[in-house]
Structure 1
Amino acid sequence: MKSSNKKSLSPFVVLPSALALALMSHQAVANESTSDAGYYGSLGFLSANVKAEGMENSLRPGIGSFVEGDDKDKANTYSLALGYDFGNNWRLEGEYTATQEVHFTSDSSTFAGSLNNHYADAQRVMFNVYRDMEIGAGFSAYATGGLGVAKIESSGWQGVPSRQYHNNTDTNLIYAVGVGVGYEPIKNVNFSLGYRYVDLGKVESGMNAFVNSRGLQDEQLRAHLYSSEYSLTARYSF
C-alpha cells in the first residue's frame, strides 16, 4: 500500500488566514459604507399648527368660570441647520428655528366678551438625530428625534388693547419626534418633506398691568404649547 505524499494544512495556518480574509472583507465594507460621510447644511420652511392646552389654569379669580376661546393658531417660519452625515444612514445636526408668533383667546362666564388675548413668540435651538432608510431611485425615508431649548415670550391684553399684561419670557427644555421622505436628484443635494411634533412646554405672561375690579395684580395668562409642523427642506452635503 502506497503512502500519500499530500500534506494536510495545519489549523494554525488555515484559521489565521481565514480570519485575515474576513477582517479585510469587513474593512472594505466599512470603508464603502462611510464613503459618503461628511458635513451638510440645510434650509427648511415650516408651516405649524400650534395648540394651547391648559389655558383654564390661567389666573382670573372672581370672574365666574373659564370659557374656552380659540386655542389653535397657525404660524410659518424657517429653520437653519448644520449637521454631520456618518455615511451609515445616521445623521446628527444642530438646528435653529426662527420666531413663530401665535395668538390664543379665552373668556369668562361673568364678563362675557372680555376676552383674554394671549400672544406667544417662540424660537428654539435643537439637536436632532436622523435615521435614513434608502428606498431606491434616489428616494429615501427617515425618522427623527430631537432635544433642545425654546425661548418663548408671552404678552397679552384683556378686553381692549390698553388693558395689558406684563411681558414674560420662559426658557423651556423641549423635545420633538418626526418622520419624512427625501429625494436626491443629484449627488449631494437632497429635498425632503417631513412632519414633526414638538412639545414647546408651558408658558405664562406676567401679571396684569391694568387695574381690575379688585384693584389687585392677581391675573395671569397660562398655557402649554404643542406644535404640529410640516416642512420642506433643502440639504446640501459638502
Structure 2
Amino acid sequence: MKINAFASVLLLTALPLSVFASEGYYGAARLFHADQSAREMDSSSRPGVGQFVSGHERERFYNGAFAVGYQFGNGWRTEGEYVLRKESEYTSGSTAFPDSFNHMKTDVSRLMLNVYRDYQLGYGFALYGTAGIGIARVKVDGWQGNPSRDYADSTQDNFAWSLGAGVSYSPIERLTLDLGYRYIDMGKVESGYNRFTNARGLKDEQMKARLVSSEVVLGARYLF
C-alpha cells in the first residue's frame, strides 16, 4: 500500500514536469478582453480653438490572436503572434467649439515576437512571465462635428512592446491553457490634416494620440 501511494505521488509530480520540459513547436489561439486607451489626445493640432476638452478616450472590446512558437524544454519559449484587426473610436473637443468634437477612428492590427519563461508549480500548473516587441499597423481617420468634415487618413507602422504574466494549466498531455494579463504600448498615432475648411481657411488641424492597451488573455496552445 505504501509503495502504491509513493508511486502515485511520483506519477502526479512527474507528469507536469514532462509537460513543460517537452521540446517542440506549438500553435496557439487566444481570446482577450482589451481596455484600450487613446492617451495624450491633447497633443492634437487644433490652433485657436481654446482649451482642450477630454471626450471618450477608452474603448473596451473582445478580440483574438493566433501564434506559432517553439518550446525549448528548459522553461523558455518564443513565438510569433498575429493580433486580428480591430476598429475603435475616440473623441475630444475644445472650449471654443463645445459642439464640434473630433472623432478619431483607429484600425489596428499587431505582429509580435514574444518570449515566455515558465515556472513549474507542479500538478500541471505553472506561472509565466512574458515580454514582446513588434509592429502595430494603425490606420487613423475621422471627422469633426459631422462626418462631412473629415480628416485625411494616415497609415503607419509603429514599434510596439508588451509585458505580461499569468498562469498555465495542462489538463492533458500536449494541451495547455493560459490565463494572463499583458500591457501593450503601440506608440503615437496621428491622422492626416483636415480636408474641410476651418475658420482660418487652413489645413492645420490634425488628430494625435498614443495608443495603449491592457488585456486579459485566455488562450490554448498545443505542442506538436
- What is the TM-score of this pair, normalised by structure 2? 0.90
Task: Identify the residue that residue 236 of structure 1 maps to in structure 2.
Answer: 222
Offset from partner CA, 1:190-237 (integer Å, 9 cap, x none):
111110000010000000011111111110000001100111101000
Q: What fraction of aligned residue pairs are identical, expressed as a percent?
A: 47
Q: Find the structure with the greater CA-based Rg.
A: 1
The unaligned stretches of length 5 or more in structure 2 are: 1-17
| 1:164-200 CA-partner distances (Å, limit 9, x unpaired) | 1000011111110000111100000011111000001
Residue identity opposite 1:120 in structure 2: T
What is the Cα-based RMSD across aligned positions, in Å?
A: 1.4
Q: CA deviation at 1:33?
A: 10
Q: Which whole-Å CA distance do the structure 1 matches of 2:121 and 2:52 have between them?
A: 51
Q: Which of 170, 178, 187 is residue 164 of structure 2 equivalent to?
A: 178
Question: Distance between the aligned counterparts of 2:44 and 2:188, measured in 1?
Answer: 12
Q: What does 1:1-238 correspond to in 2, within 5 Å?
A: 36-238=22-224
Provide, for residues 138-178 of structure 1, a one-character-per-residue CA deviation record: whole Å limited to 9, x for no partner.
11110000010110000110011111100001111111000
> Where does the alignment leave 5 or more consecutive residues of structure 1 unmatched?
1-31
Runs (4+) of structure 1 exceeding 3 A deviation are 32-35
Deviation at 1:75, TM superposition (A): 2.6
Number of equivalences: 207
- For 2:73, what is the secondary structure of its paired residue? coil
Q: Which has the higher contact order (CA 8 A, sep 6+)?
A: 2
Judged with a 3 Å threshold, the aligned counterparts in structure 2 of structure 1 residues 218 and 235 are, in CA distance, closer, same or farther, namely: same
The alignment's TM-score, normalised by the length of structure 1, stands at 0.84
Residue pair 2:19, 2:170 contacting (<8 A) in 1 also: no
Amino acid at match of 2:170: E
Q: Name the CA distance, whole Å, in 2 between partners of 1:224 and 1:150.
A: 12
Residues 66 and 33 of structure 1: is their aligned pair in 2 closer, same or farther, counting only changes over 3 Å?
closer
Q: Structure 1: which amino acid aligns with 2:141?
A: S
Give, in angstroms, the shift of residue 107 of structure 1.
Answer: 0.7
